[in-house]
Structure 1
Amino acid sequence: MSSDTLARRIARYACNLSINDIPEPVIACVRRRFVDSLACILGAYGAAPVKSAIALARATPLPASTVFGTRLRTTPELAAFANGVMLRFLDYNDGYMGLEPGHPSDNITACLALAEAEGATGCELITAIVVAYEIQMRLQDAASLNKRGWDHVNYINVAMAAAASRLLKLDETSTEQAINIALSSHLTLRQVRSGTLSDWKGCSAANAARNAIFSANLAQHGMTGPAPVFEGEMGFFKQVSGAFELDVESFGNRGNGTFAILRSLTKTFPTNGELHTAVWAALDLRAQIADLDAIASIDIETSEFNCRVLADTPEKWRPSTRETADHSLPYNVARALLDGDITLDSYSPEKIADPLAIALMSNTQVSEDPELTGLFPRHLANRVRVTLKTGEEVVSEMIGGPGSLETPMSDADFERKFRRMATPHIDQAAQQRVLHFVADLQQQTDYQALFDAMFPELSAPH
């Protein structure tokens, strides 16, 4: 077996990165993404898919890894799945758009589950998270999967297998095998995000992370996987992604390149990231329109990606599920015009069935603007044009917004988001304990205090 396969080079990077190679601004970014992820988890407490995942985990008790919001401990794989479902449910966690979209924070809960089970230190956890972000985001930059009918979570197979191997302290050879097993055996179809979107839209990434941990555990015990998994005659390049180049030597470390995590984007609305600027544009227009009944038509000019993914099927124009609504460009523009915000309540059954929103969507058109496509993926731009019944037009174009590289969210922004999601479930003292824990993440050697603080007490406000 060649020692120069892409899987081997990725494995080498995962094994060799040291906490000493990671500069403080990157560690600070990990802390922010951690707080952001915890906010998303709290906001998902009680959701139906979360209840299903917890019920599955409850059937396999094991004193290894804790499920958030419960006193349950289970296997790392099942905890990674349940906690990952919580993280992803609201579509509120961070994201990144290269040639392929994705949510690198989907790896955080899986890294935490394995770190708890293995007794890993906070520094080891941080390093594993950086490894996962670096690999997933570089793969997202390298090749589009969705255009070929495959889902972005296939890149989690690689990133999380490498991060899990790091936490299990596997060597380069075994880490390569973990990647081989994870990628070859757990490919996900793009149908997960097409048509009417189901519960699985928010579970697919958690499942990829779970499978990656399982693959690393197999490699730890000597299992080998199909190789070369990328370059082989029946491998990933020829069957899934098409050929691409990945310069692993340029990955972030002390001597080369910058760390990809610094390019990840965060969300101010609990919805698809590529349509955030359309929401901002709609909010801008709402302030200029005295009477929404005066709207004759809405034209949304956007990128090729948004046309193809967020306004592509009849279901996006008449959503019936939360998962479809939060990936519908016309619905989110209509809802922002009606309510002046996008919140968790924007995707309630009552809001989705709202005749006023349906009426606005029926008078909406979505079209590609090649100039906006040209800005993509560096800028996730949208333009909203409203024509009033008088014939007057009002237009708003947004190139970026809060959470973008140009206007990143601050520590105070992340704290506000966390407290907003936390307040219905845990009291102020518990919130403070969580924030202090994350602030000292490098010094942590045990994670029980975090899970205790995230447990919803009966005395918490509701």
Structure 2
Amino acid sequence: MSDLNLARRIARYACALSIDDVPEQVNARVQQRFVDSLACILGAYDAGPVRTAVAVASGTPQPSSTVFGTGLRTTPELAAFANGIMVRFLDYNDGYMGREPGHPSDSIPACLAVAEAEGATGSELMAAIVVAYEIQMGLQDAASLNKRGWDHVNYVNVAMAAAAARLMKLDEAQTEQAINIALSAHIAMRQVRSGSLSDWKGCSAANAARNAIFAATLARHGMTGPSPVFEGEMGFFKQVTGAFELDVDGFGSRENGQFAILRSLTKTFPTNGELHTAVWAAIDLRSKIPDIDTIAAIRVETSEFNLRVLADSPEKWRPLTRETADHSLPYNVARALLDGDITIESYTAQRMADPRAIALMSKTTVSEDAALTKLFPKHLANRLTVTLASGEEFSSERISGPGSLETPMTDTDFERKFRRMAAPHIGRVAQGRVLEFVSDLAKQRDFQPLFEAMSREPASDAAREQA
């Protein structure tokens, strides 16, 4: 065990990983996650929290970093915040479940904002993304935050501070200070994902990334932070998580080839990742039930985590906000039974107020199954049993589904997802330019062509190109 404190060991890894140490397989995964994030961004162009973030950013014009869909340039912190909300708003970006859940792609828009401001190359951007995934997912494996009432974005603080410091070419000591400042000064509470969820559910990670960039900027100019931030008497271990071990020496390297991004998961539905298998189970059963209105009872058996997080309050049985609905097991099961799919439109006010969905939720119970909890977090399993008024029962158990490690999404799947989300905003030609840019991301030296291709086109022009 090294005698260096944990923040310094993380900083050493962030600074030392060479671009040449990243295998082609990992770079290919970065490109997939990049396309996936761009798909999420396009789908969130009209979101209320995005409009708020853009309005705030417009008050600070600066030629550093670009806000997607606007042409606006602002500080890297404000661009990271606005673009990060776009990635996260739909709950459609990638995820990972260790002892703590999280979305490692939350760092992608922030890395891009810093890379643009610093004049970094595409390969430097990709290496920073790899570093952010490695650190965040390592921390997610190491310790739970949610069980103690803290939000998973506290790990974004650490990962993004290190990635931003790398892109700014800070040394090991400065990077340690960036981590110290980011973590000690910006602890987020789990209340953001409890009860009736607010706009901030989709903004919390973007805010963590924004704070991390600011922390790295302060460290660049000589600011120091509380140390040791993890092990100290009033530090992260004692105040937040409890003591844990993080094997930084085991992080992805040329020698072991075990990069964390290879274990990240992606989404086929714009909703919470832990309930995807419940949606698949509902879709399975829908084809077997002749009349949905004859359902007398719905029983969902799930893991302890899902029961505690996705069926934890009355609001999950009567969601009034999109953020609550996409984190509700009862609602997503009801909607999937009714529609045979979950889409962005599943969370409109009209759909949430649908009397048929409300009726199905009133017939739904959710309970823990110890066997499914035992599978967690390797498998995010759910079992669904539907009883009809006749007494006939139908059951479906799904251990995993598309986007899992067992059945990963392909390049074709990501392109299809991207084009589906892009269609209302940019035409086929622009879509092709975006995909071509990302396919050659490592060789890019100017990110403006990407932002230009992602710029929203007049509705008539985009529609004409799709035809």
Counterparts of 1:393 and 1:138, CA distance in 2? 42
Matched residue SS, 1:433: helix
Compute the TM-score of the two structures, normalised by the length of structure 1: 0.99
2:312 match: 312
1:235-284 alpha-carbon deviations (Å, 9 max, x no partner): 00000011100010000011235000000000000000000000000000
* Superposed CA offset, 1:17-56 (max 9, x none): 0111100000000000000000000000111100000000
Letter paired with 1:350: Q
1:461 aligns with 2:457: no
The residue that corresponds to 1:130 in the other structure is 130
Match of 2:279 in 1: 279
8 Å Cα contact 1:19-1:124 kept in structure 2: yes
Kindly provide the amino acid, as one letter, of the partner of residue 327 in structure 1: H
- Paired with 1:285 and 1:255, the residues of 2 have a C-alpha distance of 46
Partner residue of 2:210? 210
Q: Please, which runs of 5 or more residues in structure 2 have no aligned partner?
A: none
Q: Does 1:234 align with 2:234?
A: yes
* SS state at 1:387 partner: strand
Q: What is the letter of the counterpart of residue 407 of structure 1? A: T
Q: Do the aligned residues in 2 keep the contact of 1:249 with 1:256 (CA within 8 Å)?
A: no
What stretches of structure 1 move > 6 A for 4+ residues in a row? Answer: none
1:303-339 deviation line (CA, Å, top 9, x unaligned)? 0000000000111111000000000000000000001
In the alignment, residue 159 of structure 1 is paired with which amino acid? A
Q: For residues 293 and 348 of structure 1, what CA distance do their matches in structure 2 show?
A: 22
Letter in 2 for 1:332: N
Letter in 1 for 2:244: F
Partner of 1:119: 119
Provide the rounded CA distance (Å) in 1 between the counterparts of 2:173 and 2:146.
Answer: 30
1:330-349 pair list within 5 angstroms: 330-349=330-349
CA contact 1:135–1:159 (8 Å) conserved in 2: yes
Instruction: Report the TM-score when normalising by structure 2.
Output: 0.98
CA offsets 1:161-182 (integer angstroms, 9 cap, x no match): 0000000000000000000000
Q: Distance in 2 between matches of 1:72 and 1:48?
A: 17
| Residue aligning to 1:37 | 37
2:165 is aligned with what amino acid? S
Q: What's the offset of the Cα at 1:461?
A: 1.8
Q: How many residues align?
A: 461
- Aligned positions of 1:254-293 closer than 5 A: 254-256=254-256, 258-293=258-293
Find the residue that maps to 1:4 and give its secondary structure. Answer: coil
Distance 2:246 2:263 in 1: 17
Deviation of 1:292 (Å):
0.6
Identity of aligned residues (%): 77
Superposition pairs of residues 164-175 of structure 1, within 5 angstroms? 164-175=164-175
Q: Secondary structure at the match of 1:271?
A: coil
Deviations 1:320-372 (A, max 9, x none): 00000000000000000001100000000000011100000000000000000
User: What displacement does 1:3 show?
Assistant: 6.6
In 2, the alpha carbon distance for the partners of 1:87 and 1:156 equals 14
Instruction: Provide the secondary structure at the position in 2 that maps to 1:300.
Output: strand
Given that residues 67 and 79 in structure 2 are in contact (C-alpha distance below 8 angstroms), is that contact kept between their aligned partners in structure 1?
Answer: yes
Hey, what's the Cα distance between the residues in 2 that align with 1:165 and 1:276?
Answer: 35
- Contact 1:157–1:186 under 8 Å retained in 2: yes
In structure 2, give the amino acid aligned to 1:434.
V
The code of the aligned residue for 2:372 comes to L
Residues 1:148 and 2:148 are matched in the alignment: yes
How far the C-alpha of 1:460 sits from its partner, in A, is: 1.5
On the 8 A contact 1:40/1:87 being kept in 2, the answer is yes
**Structure 1 partner of 2:369:** 369
SS of the aligned residue for 1:446 comes to coil
Structure 2 contact 31–439 (Cα < 8 Å) conserved: yes
C-alpha distance after superposition, 1:434-454 (max 9, x if no partner): 000000000000100000000
Q: Which amino acid aligns with 2:253?
A: N
Q: C-alpha deviations, 1:213-240, integer Å up to 9, x for none? A: 0000000000000000000000000000
Give matches, 1:56-455, under 5 Å: 56-256=56-256, 258-455=258-455
Partner of 1:6: 6
Q: Which amino acid aligns with 2:21?
A: D
Q: Cα deviation per residue 1:280-300 (whole Å; 9 max; x = unaligned)? A: 000000010010111110000
Does the CA contact (< 8 Å) of 1:178 and 1:218 recur in 2? Answer: yes
Distance 1:215 1:225 in 2: 9
Q: Is the 8 A contact 1:87 1:93 kept in 2?
A: yes
Contact 2:41 2:83 in 1 (8 A): yes
SS class of match (2:463): coil
Report the AA paired with residue 246 of structure 1: L
2:365 alignment partner AA: Q
Q: Give the superposed CA RMSD.
A: 0.8
Q: Which has the larger displacement, 80-89 or 251-260? A: 251-260
Q: Once structures 1 and 2 are overlaid, which stretch shifts more, 452-461 or 302-311?
A: 452-461
> In the aligned structure 2, how far is the partner of 1:284 from the partner of 1:146?
31
Separation in 1, partners of 2:401, 2:46:
30
User: Distance in 2 between the 1:289 and 1:457 partners?
Assistant: 43
Please say if residues 23 and 257 of structure 2, whose CA atoms lie closer than 8 Å, have aligned partners that are also in contact: no
Classify the secondary structure of the residue corresponding to 2:195. coil
Letter in 2 for 1:461: A
Within 1, Cα distance between the matches of 2:17 and 2:408? 26
In the alignment, the residues of structure 2 paired with residue 407 and residue 300 of structure 1 have an alpha-carbon distance, to the nearest angstrom, of: 23
Amino acid at match of 1:58: S
- 2: CA distance between counterparts of 1:409 and 1:428? 22
Distance 1:396 1:363 in 2: 17
Q: In the aligned structure 1, how far is the partner of 2:317 from the partner of 2:180?
A: 40
Q: Is contact 1:250-1:257 (8 Å) kept?
A: no
Distance in 2 (alpha carbons) for counterparts of 1:394 and 1:354: 24
Q: Which runs of 5+ in 1 are unaligned?
A: none
| Equivalent position SS for 2:396 | strand
DSSP-derived class of the 2:462 partner:
coil
